[in-house]
Structure 1
Amino acid sequence: MKVFKIIFSMFLLMLVSAFTINTFSSGYDINDVATDFKLKNVDGKFVSLSDYKDAKGFIVVFTCNHCPYAVAYEDRIIELDKKYKKLGYPVIAINPNNPEVQDKDSYELMKVRAKEKGFTFPYLFDEGQKIYPQYGATKTPHVYVLQKGKDGNKVKYIGAIDDNHSDESAVKVKYVENAVDALLKNKEVTVKVTKAIGCSIKA
């Protein structure tokens, strides 16, 4: 009987652990309300979504310094910010990587990269890696388009920036642009989820 109780207790513990891990790692679904955050920008100031009083939404991009996929998309991310910031959808870039695992993604090198590329958007450091798991990001880059409403910032698109990471001139579908354009017209986003292509997040 005692052995049975021990085995049953272990089974329950495994079940709870598995449920907790799956719940934690799944991240947001479409129409979930995304949590706000307070993360340090490359200029040393802390940034939150709530700082943007006039924003209609956000293009949140999990990206980093070293990943070749992220580097390939840097110019396109800058263009997204230039195009949509004035329309109410600024880019907010977040580096989710642990610099102890990938030293090229340290906060100091983030500052260097942002200056080299002339980033027009905040480039925030997810210190302690507390934010990216809540979103469910797994790659760099991984994009979440949020729409601001009375209930908070709702997730309206999750995935890739477009359908060709290696050759911008060969892009056929601009997922993020299409999503934001639809939201600006008060229309439903047609393609809500795509597969993010990039490097795995270094935890």
Structure 2
Amino acid sequence: MKKIKFVVMFVAAVTLTAFTFVDSNKGYEIGDVATDFKLKNVNNKMVSLKDLGETKGYIVIFTCNHCPYAVAYEDRIIELNKKYKSLGYPVIAINPNNPEKQKEDSFEKMQLRAREKGFDFPYLLDEGQKIYPQYGATKTPHVYVLQNTDQGTIVQYIGAIDDNYSDADAVTEKYVENAVDALLNSEEIKVKTTKAIGCSIKV
């Protein structure tokens, strides 16, 4: 009987350790080098960071169709691309959700949404959900500002787009804009991480 208890306790300890190890892997932190990826765009073409040509960096946004937080930010995401693409920081939107769990986030619905809203930036499907865990994204939307340097593509900001998802006119802190503006002016980013507010990623 004691032997059985010992085996159960040992297995439980190993299992707990494994879960703790997995949970501790939270993706990128500020200063990390982000690796490239290749994902399918809504135009059915595969897109990677290097495919976007000569850039100073990227505004990578994990977002989706169905989440009310993501929907509330759609126009602001469009404006971010309009403002910063020509300055070297284009938007790259990635849908991290499993379409089997959330039908509104299927590739076909992504294509429809991109046409309806006139997205002029890549809207990519994280098929197999392989990329968002590398970044450590947990919400939609969740933003990563990346800067191209001699050391690689460095993560410089992680978090929310701004401080008021429900009312764009009531925003007092534009976190992403402030971060990109600082990089463009070769200045230190004052707020490098914020809490992403949105829907949990559907796995």
Normalising by structure 2, report the TM-score. 0.94
Which residue identity is paired with 2:80?
L
> Any idea what SS the aligned residue of 1:37 has?
coil
Aligned to 1:161: 161
Q: Offset at 1:2? A: 6.2
1:72-99 deviations in Å (ceiling 9; x for gaps): 1001000000110000000000000011
> Any idea what SS the aligned residue of 1:87 has?
coil
Using the aligned pairs only, state the percent identity.
67
Taking the aligned partners of 2:164 and 2:5, their CA distance within structure 1 comes to 55
Taking the aligned partners of 2:198 and 2:42, their CA distance within structure 1 comes to 23
List alignment gaps of at least 5 residues for structure 2: none
Which residue identity is paired with 1:164?
N
1:111-160 deviations in Å (ceiling 9; x for gaps): 00000000010000000101111111111100000011122211111111
Q: Are 2:64 and 1:64 aligned? A: yes
- After the TM superposition, which of the residue ranges 12-21 and 91-100 deviates more from structure 2? 12-21
Which residue identity is paired with 2:92?
I
1:180-199 matches, cutoff 5 A? 180-199=180-199
Taking the aligned partners of 1:165 and 1:9, their CA distance within structure 2 comes to 47
- After the TM superposition, which of the residue ranges 6-15 and 63-72 deviates more from structure 2? 6-15
> Any idea what SS the aligned residue of 2:80 has?
helix
Aligned to 1:43: 43
Q: Offset at 1:52? A: 2.6
> Any idea what SS the aligned residue of 1:143 has?
strand
Taking the aligned partners of 1:22 and 1:150, their CA distance within structure 2 comes to 31
Aligned to 1:17: 18
1:14-163 matches, cutoff 5 A? 14=15, 16-24=17-25, 26-163=26-163
Which residue identity is paired with 2:145?
V
- After the TM superposition, which of the residue ranges 160-169 and 14-23 deviates more from structure 2? 14-23
1:28-83 deviations in Å (ceiling 9; x for gaps): 11111112110000000001012233111000000000111101100100000011
> Any idea what SS the aligned residue of 1:34 has?
coil
> Any idea what SS the aligned residue of 2:81 has?
helix
List alignment gaps of at least 5 residues for structure 1: none
Taking the aligned partners of 1:160 and 1:60, their CA distance within structure 2 comes to 12
- After the TM superposition, which of the residue ranges 43-52 and 101-110 deviates more from structure 2? 43-52
> Any idea what SS the aligned residue of 2:86 has?
helix
